[in-house]
Structure 1
């Protein structure tokens, strides 16, 4: 068991929180976590970010700046509930088309219901598939977004290579993820809140604290900002950059297929 961060050299593929698992074992365990939390997913993010995830997602959409024209296509990966995709659609004046891809059917079910309720169903598709093996041709999408999902993918480098493949030339990757806090005192306070409070609150709210323990541990294991930026560049992306939010509690990474 180790709480050391993984690096650009890898390690997340065998990391289930602080536990080490055999290759191939992580994905079923992660799937089980999200089946358990699907109906409380936004609440989970509220707990883990103090509600700030909503502002961070708005910042992602602002940096993406989707055009208000038909034919522009975005793939939102690990976004089953539609939270990011719906923001993008509204920012485009409902001109863009979104494809929401998630490996978890429970999460997608929540997203489909929300799309129907919000009148967005004509503008969005929902696809159950793996980020490591995208069921789309090369050069399909203008943008690829993923928010708080990449750390749950076992082979991150494979997912990034797939993102590069399905983007058009000139297309853009935006990845929002919990990251390494870079402010003294805040890092200690955030760590104490994460490990001591969140699993207990999760258990109180949902009756099961274990998924929240995994999610907190997975944040602590994820590569820091510079290491993750190096992974994005290694996948072929150019003009790689990141912005820290809330002292590095979250970071938004950007890369272009040029």
Structure 2
């Protein structure tokens, strides 16, 4: 990142990280060359500011994204007690915004954690495949539209780690996206737009993921049962779902 006249400019690598590298650096470079990302060359490398990146996201949604929503998600009545571990808590950092100092937010991407709004949540760079916490550490664990970015072959390992660091009787709360078999050739991204409410706060946000896997609520329920979880609650609506697991 470079700062010029108080404006932050992000390079190709940083822009790819915004998309969790689901759009690679060569693709980003081609978008610059074609003019679809508005930016400038600094020291022979392409850079764009926040306005240029947001404009590109809109172009991307139009050209390549199958869009769901806007959907309404109300977290006001969701119980999140005690010490909370939020998996993939960078970016919007929704759980950290709502629950503040109760939350330890982890993300493998430093830039995603830096992007998360300032609040009292503790932010740590960490891979969900290898949680650096002792057994039975957290009262609640959340994953708010983050597991969909993890390769599907790693899902079982991630749930095993979540189970390990969750206290007995603690809850794992999972919100995620149903990703069907890809049916539209020119669309290779699924994007969901949502309004998230928590008591008197409302966040307008969205999540996009590469359309390169198939997953649904049953996929996670089956894995959860294998690692030892009990399923207490399941809700599904328009390609999104919520599951409440409990550690026995």
Determine if contact 1:229/1:240 at 8 Å carries over to the other structure: no
Residue 110 of structure 1, CA deviation: 0.4
Equivalent in the alignment of 1:236: 228
User: Are 2:125 and 1:128 aligned?
Assistant: yes
Residue 31 of structure 1, CA deviation: 4.8
Equivalent in the alignment of 2:246: 256
TM-score, normalised by the number of residues in structure 1: 0.58
User: Are 2:21 and 1:32 aligned?
Assistant: yes
Determine if contact 1:64/1:174 at 8 Å carries over to the other structure: no
Equivalent in the alignment of 2:98: 88
Structure 2: 5+ residue stretches without partners: 1-16, 29-49, 192-207
User: Are 2:100 and 1:101 aligned?
Assistant: no
SS of structure 2 residue aligned to 1:66: coil
Equivalent in the alignment of 2:138: 141
Aligned length: 181
RMSD: 3.6
Distance 1:139 1:34 in 2: 37
Structure 1: 5+ residue stretches without partners: 1-27, 182-186, 202-213
- Please identify which structure carries the higher helix content: 1
SS of structure 2 residue aligned to 1:64: coil
- Please identify which structure carries the higher strand content: 2
Q: Residue by residue, what CA displacement relative to the aligned partner does 1:98-150 show, whole Å, maximum 9, x if unpaired?
A: 01100011101101xx21xxxx2xx3100101001011111111111112221
Residue 172 of structure 1, CA deviation: 0.6
TM-score, normalised by the number of residues in structure 2: 0.60
Larger Rg: 2
